[in-house]
Structure 1
Amino acid sequence: MAIKETFYLSHGSPTLSIDESIPIRRFLESWKEKGCNQIPKSILVISGHWETSVPTVNVVHGNNETIHDFYGFPQQMYELKYSAPGAPELAKRVKELLMASGFKHVNTDGKRGLDHGAWVPLMLMYPEANIPVCQLSIQLDRDGTYHYNMGKALAPLKDEGVLIIGSGSATHNLRKIQFGSNTVASWASEFDTWLKDALLEGRYEDVNHYEQKAPYAKVAHPWPDHFYPLLVAMGAAGEDAKAELIHHSWEHGTLSYASYSFTSATN
């Protein structure tokens, strides 16, 4: 069973795990109707919260540990668990595909579990925690095209029933958060609109070079960690893939929860 789309989901704040007022929470809870209506064989998550020097996949035999990689939040968040099975066969396949596509050094990690960029959205999307999950890291010292090509290498996974999810945030500047504000900052709005237009118009090369092409790129993303997962998901869908905005909302005046699907032209 092939999976038709790849996805980029904006997970925003870790409080998404407990705060029912965050609009994307309702969208993720209805994922099986509004997102991917197929049950995947396994799930690959590219999260903005796992950075390594070379591509690395976690090879977990048994259930994934839940990593609480955030600080100063309510205690109940540290008690949440998402013990989805590991996906060692998928991890092996990811490594094979990357190396066959010219990524010479690909590592495995047998101890790492799921960071909150993976388990927070997944606990809402698949609360049963019964679908095998593995993660793939990003490399902050590489550029957008590198991550797009990483996605292209992983494209065969869709035909093998794997759901590919890039997890980040469409805008991500924690120093400029306006807590409680209902007014969207102009820089955030302009970047978010540029991204939407570029994706929906299929200008993927512009998106790969967003730092040069987009307005307020370095303000919206001082670091590319939450943007690179989008490029992996985009690349995995193919050059002629059609992008669709599947959710859009704001929090704290600067955090865009814009989320996208990418449907391959061959499907």
Structure 2
Amino acid sequence: MISPIFVGHGSPMMALQDTACTQFLLEYGKKLSPKAIVIFTAHWETEVLTISSTNDAYETIYDFRGFPDELFQLKYPAKGDVALAQSIAERFQVKGIPVQLDSTRGLDHGSWVPLLRMFPTPEVPVIQISVNPYLPPAEQYRIGEALRGLDQEDILIIGSGATVHNLRALNWNATEPDAWAVAFDDWLAANMQAKNLKALFNYAAEAPNSKMAVPRPEHFIPLYIAMGSGDPERQVEIIHRSYEVGSLSYLAVSF
């Protein structure tokens, strides 16, 4: 059994840097032996939930610019699995969640960067799934619920995003995390560990500094999907916490 997780993927530079977060991802990946990986990425937005469906190796997408050339030389040629993609699609359909398959899109950096740090050599199938940031948190959680039980099959579910992701608020001179970002993550951690879904679904009104932390929800909602996919009887664990440039959060959670 492999618990679903949420990870902060932060800057694409984490593919090259040696940081507290990249060290955590490497060591955590060493503990796991998944048969397959299902990853929801903040960098693939669609109105209808879309699942990658191919048996071929994915193209590595460089969906960023202004970074060192070395970053654009990296590749993560993981392969997909059409049969697994179809079985996941059927899980959503049974729950009345509209879904479609995509056979051409590669892995964006919300997927390949954390996967590269966790599993430097791709050895198992990867299924990438899009997000719709306009659905409310309760509906994101329900998307995750449709995948409950995959952990019992040793399929690793990853929500890839960031709890605090406000690029306009980055503090490039910071030597410590910004207090407002820490307060938001403190609130999240406490309510996740207390399993207070009512508060979590209403985070925009109840969490401190929510508008600063989540100016747009595409990076935040993979947290709810990963949370929904976990066993509700299992204890929620904060498995990593660090920050860059003041407020960019690398909070990682196991469900």
Q: TM-score, normalised by structure 2?
A: 0.96
Classify the secondary structure of the residue corresponding to 1:159: helix
Larger mean CA deviation between 69-78 and 205-214 belongs to 205-214
Identity over aligned pairs, percent? 38
Counterpart in the other structure of 2:11: 13
Matched, 1:168 2:165: no
1:26 paired residue number = 23
Contact 2:7 / 2:250 at 8 angstroms: preserved in 1? Answer: yes
Q: Does structure 1 residue 4 correspond to structure 2 residue 2?
A: yes
Note the 1:122-201 alignment, pairs <5 A.
122-201=115-194
C-alpha RMSD of matched pairs (Å): 1.3
Q: CA deviation at 1:121?
A: 0.9
Q: What whole-Å deviation, never above 9, does each CA across 1:145-168 have from its counterpart, x for those lacking one?
A: 111000000113222221000011
How far the C-alpha of 1:179 sits from its partner, in A, is: 1.2
SS of equivalent to 1:226: coil
Do 1:198 and 1:206's aligned partners in 2 also have CA atoms closer than 8 Å? Answer: yes
Q: Which amino acid aligns with 2:9?
A: H
**How many equivalent pairs are there?**
255
SS at match of 2:104: coil
Once structures 1 and 2 are overlaid, which stretch shifts more, 117-126 or 233-242? 233-242
TM-superposed CA distance for 1:213, in Å, is 1.8
> After superposition, where does 1:1-267 map in structure 2 within 5 Å?
3-20=1-18, 22-33=19-30, 37-103=31-97, 105-262=98-255
Deviations 1:67-106 (A, max 9, x none): 1111111111111100011122221111100010111x21
Residues 17, 77 of structure 1: 8 Å contact kept: yes
Q: Which whole-Å deviations, capped at 9, do the CAs of 1:201-237 have from their partners, x for residues lacking one?
A: 2213322221122111111010111111110110001
SS at match of 2:160: strand
The question of whether the paired residues in 2 share the 8 Å contact of 1:200 and 1:242 is answered with yes
Q: Distance in 1 between matches of 2:56 and 2:248?
A: 35
1:178 corresponds to which letter in structure 2?
A: N
Q: Distance in 2 between matches of 1:74 and 1:244?
A: 35
Contact kept in structure 1, 2:2 and 2:155, CA below 8 Å: no
CA distance in 1, matches of 2:166, 2:182: 13
> Matched residues in 1 for 2:36 and 2:198: separation?
29
Distance in 2 (CA, whole Å) between partners of 1:205 and 1:87 is 36
AA of the residue aligned to 1:248: R
Give the letter for the 1:95 counterpart.
Answer: A
C-alpha deviation, 1:143, in angstroms: 0.7
Deviations 1:16-69 (A, max 9, x none): 01111x210111111235xxx331110000111111001100112211111111
- CA distance in 1 between counterparts of 2:247 and 2:53 reads 35
Matched residue type, 1:110: S
Q: How far apart, CA to CA, are the structure 1 residues paired with 2:77 and 2:2?
A: 26
| C-alpha distance in structure 1 between counterparts of 2:23 and 2:182, whole Å | 22
Letter in 2 for 1:9: V
5+ unaligned residues in a row in structure 1: which ranges?
Answer: 263-267
Q: 1:198 Cα deviation (Å)?
A: 1.0
Matches of 2:250 and 2:201 in 1, distance apart?
20
Partner SS for 1:12: coil
CA contact (8 A) 2:51 2:130 kept: yes
> 8 Å contact 2:41–2:222 — kept in the other structure?
yes
Note the C-alpha offset of 1:11: 1.1
